[in-house]
Structure 1
């Protein structure tokens, strides 16, 4: 996921793919040049494939059997937004024969420039050649300014190739090679690369697909113990138990992979949204978790954020708030603010212009450039933040003002205006509210989902595509900074709750039950991630119980789930003594990263959540 969270409302129409000075500093010594020289050397190149590949230096960063080269000094500047944050279909890409178009001839010339016997455009005949071909095309995307480049369903891509005796070594080296450019590939947070490998899943006969490569990728990622690439495992009631056990053991190491996506629910929602059945069954995801059609879509799934929490703040500060006679009037005022937010997003979506992209277009086999509507699907995706703040705030108004009559609406407005300055806070719901089995919380959440869907139901973007949204977002810290207080105990500028989560120490089954009762349709199927915090001491000794927990969630109908396996004491120690924990990995919004690489605010947020999870006073 793009860690800068593209907000098309505020974006300039000029969009530059660039790496900051810190990144260049990290790499300056590698190339024998100082920071000043490195920065002076960087002159943006307009998106022009021949110019980029002609200038790019060949520096092999491949591990073991593999070749991989990206010249970090290449900076690509575009007049419009470049399509990124998605996987291509490598099964198509590595087996296609290049013709004699201008774009394809440029690629052929670049292969000659590489001048390495491992790198060819021949159709692969074995696992090693297939992995090398994937690395070649992957590097071309990164080299030409594309970011958050996903890897797609690699167990399915590699299925035609026999599993050699050295398969484990090859896959480990493949993962290590992709990790070599970890810093360069990262967006605004180190680790946010978008390099996600999708494994497993139902086929269009509703049979569960997995193979030896499915297990090998999980095994090898656990063995190399790297935060990146990461894995998403497509799950189903019909999946093998031993595969789920292997995935849970991998999660128990703390690397944050795999993330689980429930095919029994997701596929039906994608069909409801409008995907052909074949494409829905073959779905992949964007850089973190947002479902899309692999290899034939423009789909950009994190273009804006619906800000449910900000709408609550605006509602309470509205002069009309104190004159609301009942909850019906409160809800109507909130829905007005929500509609204004959604209409602003639509205005921004309509202003987007995509960069012409001959490389990505030929990798997708499009006869027409992807920027001009050449893709089969031209849908957009948006995220959301602060649903828990909205639900709990509205429930609190009903409880404390209209039911118990302990506060007036004037009192509520003053508390929010003053940012809880008097220390008054009976509003941090502990036993009821968002994330619990409370019926009113579930009912209100589903109501807000339906109201949001209504705002986007008839929208079509300039390319004819639709919009889907979801209840997950990386913006829980950044968007929290710019939002006033909400009536769930959250003060101005504090973070919002992460995805669909609740860290108050309740049984993990409660938040799972809550998520399974949420009523999503195709319009609200743009990632709905249940984010659970698990004590490291608990999961390692109870793998079988967590497998049953996951099986129960799949059966109940959760959408997606990610696990952050943490120890509060360890995180506190790691923050104070980082040198002791060089390899401590944590899960951030939809990616894994080294704890030491995170900004202090993200470390503090993880520590706070771990403390609440372990119920430490």
Structure 2
């Protein structure tokens, strides 16, 4: 959760692992529409795709696609993936342009067509747009759990008592880490006392009477958390504005030259701050499950669900509750339109929360984005069980994608579900769709055309972005056990790629355990 970055004893280590192996290189873009609205694919485009097959480490290669992109271009992209490269990442010009026109209506269409991908997936609408595109991450699962249980604690600004409890726990864990009877005895006694303290401190649940009340509570708690986080962000930007001006960068901005203001003072013509949500589909699946199991079918009470997640679904009765919750179709099930509807509802609640925050820095707007890097794994480790059936400590879903292992579906079903999301309304700061796809799906003479057809159809249906790892999962398993055999194995981590051998064992396991579409 967000609080792990405040004072949990692991702050510095956690910050480092949030951005594991991520480099500082710039995005290089190929293809797409030109300023005149015509296809911009040319010889240089294909040269860049040739470079992708060489799997460069220090380039974030991206490729734009539109409805009139040449078949030869789409086939070449598919061929690059099938040949083992996890790049380039793919972007849908139609959806990105619709998004930019909706959120930056004053921008000329020629400038919008010339949008640039910043960092991983975030679009800047023109060459005079200062988009601070990765300001903060919000774990939406935590305020949802507060809404479900009727809690109102401040998730961001931790009180003195909670800080002391965290520090004391870290003290005992560190000093009792030795594998001997005395250390184990002392730590076990402390943990028992800590559990009693937390149980005494925790108020009895006050569950909502119906779905409307749950959604209203969720909106209120998410508004509170978002305002708390962005209050700190505004303070950071204030310090930057006062003490870390950027005269060289500002001299390249038309707006800064005309206004005489630094970029950090709001001198650019267009300003924005991107805030990423983590756990969207986990919350959406949870809301759908509660609506079906509790309020529509009356299979279990809301108290049963709360007790089940508080006990991490342990015990025969709570396992039965979990089975009922898991029976409700999850996001990624091709036959469940309702699951997509709940994702869009959750996105609307998140966007409402961003809109509730006043005084966006530089006179700009807050824009919603959904790319987790590996933050979903770090946050998931600190997030309790959810009514979706997800267990405590399990990674949250990566971006707006089906939860790993929760969906019973195939590649096309998952892509159809993702394409049903209203990205133009809810994702002005972009999103990632990182799928692991078994290379055996696209073998043989028709493999290239089949994969290019999947990509073009997914984008035609409304997908915003796609970045697959097309690989045999057995290679990943063998590379984990025998790293010396694969010194140059490049894999897609999130909005960036990295050598598999450079990753920590934990992150390697996370990539291996992602759903592999076969």
Instruction: Show CA shifts across 1:393-451 (max 9, x none).
Output: 11111222233333222221122222233372326747722223312212222122223
- Find the residue that maps to 1:392 and give its secondary structure: helix
Seen in structure 2, the aligned counterparts of structure 1 residues 344 and 286 have a Cα distance that, compared at 3 Å, is same
Q: Specify which structure has the bigger relative contact order, considering alpha-carbon pairs within 8 angstroms and separated by 6 or more residues.
A: 2
Seen in structure 2, the aligned counterparts of structure 1 residues 294 and 390 have a Cα distance that, compared at 3 Å, is same
Identify which range, 309-318 or 490-499, moves more after superposition. 309-318
- Find the residue that maps to 1:305 and give its secondary structure: strand
Name the counterpart of 2:429.
526
Which protein has the bigger helix share?
2
Name the counterpart of 2:71.
241
Name the counterpart of 2:138.
306
Instruction: Show CA shifts across 1:229-248 (max 9, x none).
Output: 13111110111111111111
Name the counterpart of 1:440.
338
Measure the CA separation in 2 of the matches of 1:380 and 1:8: 22
Seen in structure 2, the aligned counterparts of structure 1 residues 441 and 238 have a Cα distance that, compared at 3 Å, is same
Q: Determine which of 181, 203, 225 is the counterpart of 2:34.
A: 203
Name the counterpart of 1:93.
none
Name the counterpart of 2:278.
385
Seen in structure 2, the aligned counterparts of structure 1 residues 583 and 486 have a Cα distance that, compared at 3 Å, is same
Name the counterpart of 1:361.
250
- Listed as ranges, the gaps of 5+ residues in structure 2 are 152-203
TM-score, normalised with respect to structure 2: 0.77
* 2:386 is aligned with 1:480: no
Measure the CA separation in 1 of the matches of 2:327 and 2:23: 33
- Find the residue that maps to 2:135 and give its secondary structure: coil
Question: How far off its partner does 1:7 sit?
Answer: 9.9
Measure the CA separation in 1 of the matches of 2:448 and 2:133: 33
| Coordinate RMSD, CA, aligned | 2.9
Measure the CA separation in 2 of the matches of 1:508 and 1:446: 21
Identify which range, 464-473 or 381-390, moves more after superposition. 464-473
Question: How far off its partner does 1:317 sit?
Answer: 3.4
Seen in structure 2, the aligned counterparts of structure 1 residues 505 and 408 have a Cα distance that, compared at 3 Å, is closer
Q: 5 Å matches for 1:110-121?
A: none
- Find the residue that maps to 1:190 and give its secondary structure: coil
Measure the CA separation in 1 of the matches of 2:397 and 2:327: 14
Seen in structure 2, the aligned counterparts of structure 1 residues 317 and 195 have a Cα distance that, compared at 3 Å, is same
**Does the Cα contact within 8 Å between 1:6 and 1:304 map onto a contact in 2?**
no
Measure the CA separation in 2 of the matches of 1:316 and 1:587: 35
Measure the CA separation in 2 of the matches of 1:327 and 1:262: 35
Name the counterpart of 2:173.
none
Measure the CA separation in 2 of the matches of 1:548 and 1:377: 37
**Alignment coverage as a number of residue pairs:** 437
Seen in structure 2, the aligned counterparts of structure 1 residues 427 and 525 have a Cα distance that, compared at 3 Å, is farther
Q: 5 Å matches for 1:165-176?
A: none
Name the counterpart of 1:449.
347
Name the counterpart of 2:483.
578
Q: 5 Å matches for 1:531-542?
A: 531-541=434-444, 542=447
Measure the CA separation in 1 of the matches of 2:103 and 2:209: 38
Measure the CA separation in 2 of the matches of 1:499 and 1:194: 22
Seen in structure 2, the aligned counterparts of structure 1 residues 242 and 429 have a Cα distance that, compared at 3 Å, is farther
Q: Which runs of 4+ in 1 moved over 6 A?
A: 5-9
Question: How far off its partner does 1:9 sit?
Answer: 9.0
Q: 5 Å matches for 1:206-285?
A: 206-222=37-53, 224-274=54-104, 275-285=107-117
* 2:401 is aligned with 1:501: yes
Measure the CA separation in 1 of the matches of 2:46 and 2:3: 38
Instruction: Show CA shifts across 1:340-387 (max 9, x none).
Output: 222223323322233211232234464232122221222111111101
**Does the Cα contact within 8 Å between 1:585 and 1:594 map onto a contact in 2?**
yes
Seen in structure 2, the aligned counterparts of structure 1 residues 373 and 309 have a Cα distance that, compared at 3 Å, is same
